[in-house]
Amino acid sequence: MIFLVAAACGRHETTIRVQVPNLDGRLTPLGRLPIVALPYDRDSLLATLESAAGSARPDTAALDSLFALVRAPFNDLLRAETHAAALRDTLARLRARLEQEPRNSPAYRTGYRTFAILADSLGRADQRTAKAEETLSAAEHEVGPRLGRLRLAVTRWEDSTLRSYDSLTAARARQLGRRPLHAQTGADGTVRLHLAQGEWWVYTRAPQVGNPYAGWYWNLKVTGDSVVLAPANGRLRPCYSTRCP
């Protein structure tokens, strides 16, 4: 757990916990994730800027279709790599145990047979990983150029539409007399913030495991001394621009 301590009086401690689904769908703590406490609602400011845009956001239907073509082989590769890594870890632990056993002992003979079976499994897992890499490379080669052009169009629109965001938020922070507070979760997915009196929002983004073109987004108003950022109160958003979390 990371502690962010402030010396000023009149501040209250708020604990932030972040949990996201892993590849198997189980909620797991997310460490080393940047967290920003904002004294204003960033979504409201973004909406104001987008409503004043001189042009509409580029259509993203084509991007959704291209993302779908890449996501399946990307997921297959990730699962193959994860399985192979788990086998390597198991083999390393078993090898360490066998080195402590006399070679003529029953435990060594049993362990060696298990080791041989796992080694064969790892060979097949490596073959599946190599095949998955080839499949993903082919998919990326097929959609890459068009995907890049469409995402660049969205990026340029966002750059133009949101170009005054930094100056707008800086002015808002000066008006409120409170600056954004930056922190990072610890290994347990938790960070404690000491926030000055007033309204605060917790903002962060996190990648979606198994999807290179989507991420979790949170911009939650702090209403108590503990905030849990999880899928139930976050938004899973496609990353249409070239700036993915």
104 inside domain: yes
188 inside domain: yes
55 inside domain: no
Q: Could you list the pLDDT tens digit for every one of the 245 residues in the chain?
A: 544 444 345 678 999 999 999 988 999 999 999 999 999 999 999 999 999 998 999 999 999 999 999 999 999 999 999 999 999 999 999 999 999 999 999 999 999 999 999 999 999 999 999 999 999 999 999 999 999 999 999 999 999 999 999 999 999 999 999 999 999 999 999 999 999 999 999 999 999 999 999 999 999 999 999 999 999 999 999 999 987 65
pLDDT at 11: 79
Q: Give the full edge-to-edge strand order of the sheet including 34-38.
A: 181-184, 34-38, 201-208, 211-221, 235-238
Strand 226-229 relative to strand 11-21, pairing: parallel
SS3 30: coil
Q: Give the range of the structural domain holding residue 72, as residue numbers without chain letter.
A: 61-133
139 CB contacts (<8 Å, ≥6 apart)?
Answer: 69, 70, 73
Are 19 and 79 contained in the same domain?
no
As a whole number of angstroms, the distance between CA 23 and CA 144 comes to 25
* Bridge partners (DSSP) listed for residue 20: 28
As a whole number of angstroms, the distance between CA 20 and CA 244 comes to 17
Domain count, the chain: 2
Are 77 and 129 contained in the same domain?
yes
Are 28 and 75 contained in the same domain?
no
SS3 190: strand
Question: What is the pTM assigned to this prediction?
Answer: 0.83
144 inside domain: no
pLDDT at 1: 52
pLDDT at 242: 83
146 inside domain: no
DSSP for 132-183, please give it.
HHHHHHHHHHHHHHHHHHHHHHHHHHHHHHTTTHHHHHHHHHHHHT---EEE
Strand 181-184 relative to strand 34-38, pairing: antiparallel
Are 234 and 195 contained in the same domain?
yes
pLDDT at 189: 98
| CATH code (residue 13) | 2.60.40.10
Closest CA to 196 of 215, 222, 218, 219: 222
229 inside domain: yes
As a whole number of angstroms, the distance between CA 9 and CA 197 comes to 10
217 inside domain: yes
52 inside domain: no
What is the DSSP secondary structure assignment for residue 56, as one 8-state letter?
A: P
Are 66 and 34 contained in the same domain?
no
What is the token pair recorded at 184? 């990072």
pLDDT at 3: 40
pLDDT at 4: 45
Are 69 and 128 contained in the same domain?
yes
Are 30 and 88 contained in the same domain?
no
End-of-domain residue from the set 133, 149, 170? 133
